[in-house]
Amino acid sequence: MNDIYLVDGVFLVTRSIRSLPDYHGARWSAWLRHACRQFGCQLDSLARGFVPLRSGQAPLRAGEVVCLRLLTENPGQFGVLGNALAQGEPHGEFSRLTLRLLFWQDAISGKRHPPEEAPCGLEPLTLKHLREETTLLAGLDSFSLHFHTPLRLKLPSGCRGEGRERDDYCQPEFFRSARAIGYLASKIRFWQFADRDEVESLPVAGEGNLRWHDLRYNQERRIALGGVAGAIRCNGRIGARLAEKLVLGQYLGAGKNPLFGLGYWQIPELAEARKIFLEQCAPSSTDWR
C-alpha cells in the first residue's frame, strides 16, 4: 500500500459566493476537474479523495479563508494543480474569480508550501498520529458518529434492492442493525489492515438523526449522488481494532465517490485528543500575509 498524505489547500475568498448547498463537494469537484482538464491532467491521478472543511448554506464572504483537504499518494504533482487553479478559464461559482489558493499545508506537520510548487517533506498518515484518539475511543462507554458529508456506502451482498439504484446503498435504517458499525469499519478507504476478521465487540446504535441526502453538480443535472448524512449515537465499549478503524475513517472516509467529497465522519468525543484538525480552522485573512 502506498503512503497517503493529507494536504490542505488554503483558499482566500476574493468574491462572495452566496448560493451554496448544504455540502460543497460537488462545487469543488467541478472546479478541480475543469481546471485539470485545461492543463492536460486528470484529478484522479493527483488525488485519491478530498473533503471540504467548510459546509452549510451560509455564504462564503470575500475575505474569508476556507480549506479543502486532499488525500494523495502523489503530492509531487500539486504544483501542476496549483497552476491549473490559478490560470484555468473560470467555469461555475467556484473558480479563480472567487477563490485564490494561498498555499498548500501539510495537515500533519502544519508546514506551508507555495501554491505553484509541489509540497516536499510531507509526513504520511500513520496510525501513530491517531494513537491518542484510538485509546480514548476504546475507553468510552458511548460515542457518536457525525457524517458531515453524505456516506454513499453499498449494502452488504444479499441485502441490496432490486428497484431504484438508491436501494443498493445503506439507508438510515441500516445503521440500527447490529452489524452496521462493524460493516462501516470494514470499508475504510485506501488502507490495508493486518486483520480481516470480524471485530469481537460491536456497539449498539441508539438515537440519531440520519437522513438520505441527494447532491447534484448543479440544478440542471438530473442524476443525483445520494448518501446518508447526520449523526447516530453508539452505546457500548468497543475493542482496540474497531476503535482504530473508526478513528482512521475520520480522515480517509468510506464508501463511493471520494472525489466528490463523500463519506467522511467525525467522532466529536475525541476532539480533546485530536492531533490533526477536522473542522474549518484555517488561518484568518491576515494570518497568511
- pLDDT at position 162 is 65
What is the structure's pLDDT at 160?
A: 66
**127-273: which CATH topology?**
Alpha-Beta Plaits (3.30.70)
Q: Which residues of the chain have pLDDT under 50?
A: 197, 199, 281-289
- pTM score of the predicted model: 0.90
- The SS3 call for residue 179 is coil
Q: What is the pLDDT of residue 161?
A: 62
Domain spans in the chain, listed from the N-terminal domain onward = 5-113, 127-273
The predicted pLDDT at position 225 comes to 81
For residue 245, how many C-alpha atoms fall within 13 Å in the half-sphere facing its CB? Answer: 24
Q: What CA–CA distance (Å, rounded) separates 189 from 185?
A: 10
- CA–CA dist 119, 7 (Å, integer): 9
Pairing relationship of beta strands 5-13 and 65-72 according to DSSP bridges: antiparallel
Side chain identity, residue 181:
I
**Pick from 215, 251, 275: nearest CA to 72:** 251
Q: How far apart are CA 36 and CA 43, in angstroms?
A: 6
Phi, psi (rounded to 5 degrees) for 19: -100, 100
The count of other CB atoms within 10 Å of the CB of residue 130 is 22
What is the rounded CA–CA span in Å between residue 250 and residue 30? Answer: 24
Closest CA to 33 of 46, 45, 23, 42: 42
The label of the residue with cell 475504510 reads: 188
Cell 501554491, residue located: 115
